[in-house]
Chain A
Amino acid sequence: MNILNILDEIEKVDGEIYERLSPRRSAMKDFFNVGKKISMAALPLALGSMFQKAYGQTNPSTVNDVLNFALALEYLEYNYYNHALTNSTITFPTSASNAAITTIRAHERAHVDLLKSALQITGADGYVDADFDFTAGGAFGDVFSNYQTFLKVALAFEDTGVRAYKGQAPILKGNAVLTTALQIHSVEARHASHIRQMVAASLGVALKPWISYAANGNDTGISAVDAVYAGEQNTMQAGIEINGLGGASQTQAAESFDEFLTGAAVKTIANQFIKTGKKLA
């Protein structure tokens, strides 16, 4: 994306764009400083806030709601992995497994920081480790001492994350923020794919890297996370039956499309892991 090209285009229709961006002559300096501070990839978000300023409009509150919601989920994920890596008795069986979780933690932290900057939140995190109960009231009691339990919950978080972003996409439709949200969404899907393989290797189960057709949509064999997979057995897309299409089996038809979760469903899942007083409303 060429920023100057964008400004060029704006200037053609609005000669006062630079004045709008900032009433002072230092406008462009401010602008380029913004560009330097955040990475190029975060630019769509920064651009959004610039245009808000320039044209006296704000993101629709629904868009900010989505970003705040996403931020809460990223806090959950980041703190989960961070706790496992820094404050647990989990024994990672290989250096590769430790490295994979470290990679994922870094991405979740980056997502937290990116969303905070998009929402112009500075200072302390809105959620810290103490705000979470990763045992979900005891349902996963040994989550930070048993590697396998840890992986199962991680898998639920990643698959939920993928489905959560997907469910919010329509609210971001046509907004530059959507691109960034999609870029986060596919990273979560990559994480989910890898953790599925870690679960398969550790538990010795035939778990595919993608969500497969199963009762309740849940192919993990862990009934406690049924809610995460609700609707995943769907094989009908936009009124078109995928089962049998081009020779695809029912399993392949269900696998070839991921489903979304509504915000309400995601909140119910996430709130099991969030302490009273900090639960998502």
Chain B
Amino acid sequence: MKNNELETKNELQDERLLNSTVGRRSFLQYAGASAAAIALVAAGCKKDRGYENPTMDGATLDFKTDVGVLNYAYALEQLEAAFYIKVASAPPAAFTAAQKAYFQDVQFHEIAHREFFKKALSTAAIGSLEVDFSSIDFTSASGVLAAAQSFEDLGVAAYNGAGVRITTTDYLVLAGKIVSVEARHAAWVRDQISNGSFADLNSLTALGASNSAGLDGALTPDKVLAIAGKYVKTKINVINL
């Protein structure tokens, strides 16, 4: 009985907070214009926000704090690392020695990123994701390169789009330290497919790039996860985005 009462009280409190437009109004009045602008830009990206916490299986990314953003990066790095481990362990026969060596390096870069986030998040880290690479032909050089290109370009757009959500300076710098390495990977892989396509921004417009403005991709996490979902078996729940 007592538990039920508590639960009801919590629910009521939650509802009151959520419906309190006055609270949101004064927040915007008191917060600086730049803070308001971020909140609004975020709002512009997604209309409905998941206020309720549904029951969940799989991994949950709670974007309310930096922990959610770091776990989001951790999820993407898990995916990349798993892909490159598979490539490096049995590279396509058509790969040159240089390609094999560089894919080996990229594998360890992604493993380092993955392990870094795991360690930094400690007990707050999400679990290991189960991947699904059935759509990738690991014996074909062109198949592997195409998949690598999409992972790298998506990774760049993901970090670029999530940067503005990060509130801790150290984490922002870390994200910056990682994203440029991903961009270097992306450029190299692209050049392996077609020399000179390292920064073909026209081909990246679906990821938010603009060739006329010289801008790389940038996507909000919901869009990134929708694209990456094809390769992930584990259910990823997103809240407070």
Contact = CB atoms under 8 A, between A and B. Distances in A.
A245 B119 contact: yes
B114 A246 contact: yes
Interface stretch (B50-58, B190-198, B232-240): B190-198
A247 B110 CA distance: 11
16 contacts: A9-B40, A9-B44, A14-B28, A57-B34, A110-B212, A162-B180, A178-B163, A185-B216, A186-B216, A189-B184, A193-B185, A208-B102, A208-B105, A210-B105, A237-B174, A248-B115
Nearest to B168: A173
Interface in B209-234: 209-218
A114 B140 CA distance: 41
A103 B40 contact: no
A10 B25 CA distance: 10
A185 B159 CA distance: 11
Given A194-B199, A246-B111, A175 B215 contact: no
Contact of B185 (A41, A59, A173, A210): A210
B10 to A, nearest CB: 26
A150 interface: no
Contact of B172 (A111, A173, A255): A173
A100 B188 CA distance: 13
B187 A174 contact: no
Indicate the member of A51, A256, A259, A260 with the most B CB atoms within 10 Å: A256
B24 interface: yes
A96 B111 contact: no
A42 interface: yes
A13 interface: yes
A57 B33 contact: yes
A14 B179 CA distance: 37
Contact of B209 (A10, A38, A183): A183
A191 B198 contact: yes
Interface string A1-42: 111011001101110000000000000000000000011111
Interface in A28-67: 38-42, 44, 47-48, 51-52, 55, 57, 59-60, 63
A252 B159 CA distance: 21
Contacts of A162: 180
B188 A186 contact: no
Nearest to A113: B213
B51 to A, nearest CB: 15
B43 A6 contact: yes
A257 B159 CA distance: 14
Given A57-B32, A189-B180, A249 B41 contact: no
B173 interface: yes
A103 B199 contact: yes
Interface string B143-185: 0000000000000100111011011011111101111111111
6 nearest A-B pairs in the assembled complex, by CB-CB distance = A110-B214, A41-B210, A6-B44, A193-B187, A189-B183, A183-B215
Given A51-B36, A187-B201, A209-B102, A252 B112 contact: yes
Interface string B55-83: 00000000000000000000000000000
A272 B212 CA distance: 30
A1 B183 contact: no
Given A173-B169, A174-B164, A187-B199, A5 B210 contact: no
The majority secondary structure among interface residues of chain A is helix
A111 B216 CA distance: 11
Nearest to A251: B105
B188 A197 contact: yes
B214 A182 contact: no
Contacts of A258: 176-178, 180-181, 184
B158 to A, nearest CB: 11
Contacts of A209: 102, 184-185, 187-188
Contacts of A249: 108
Contact of B176 (A9, A238, A242, A260): A260
Contacts of B164: 174-176, 178-179
A179 B160 contact: yes
Nearest to B43: A9
Given A41-B210, A170-B169, A252-B105, A193 B183 contact: yes
Given A186-B159, A248-B115, A259-B177, 16 more contacts: A1-B44, A1-B45, A10-B40, A41-B209, A57-B33, A63-B34, A110-B214, A174-B167, A186-B216, A187-B215, A196-B184, A197-B191, A208-B102, A208-B105, A209-B184, A257-B174
A44 B119 CA distance: 34
A174 B43 contact: no
Nearest to B166: A173
Contacts of B116: 237-238, 240, 242, 245
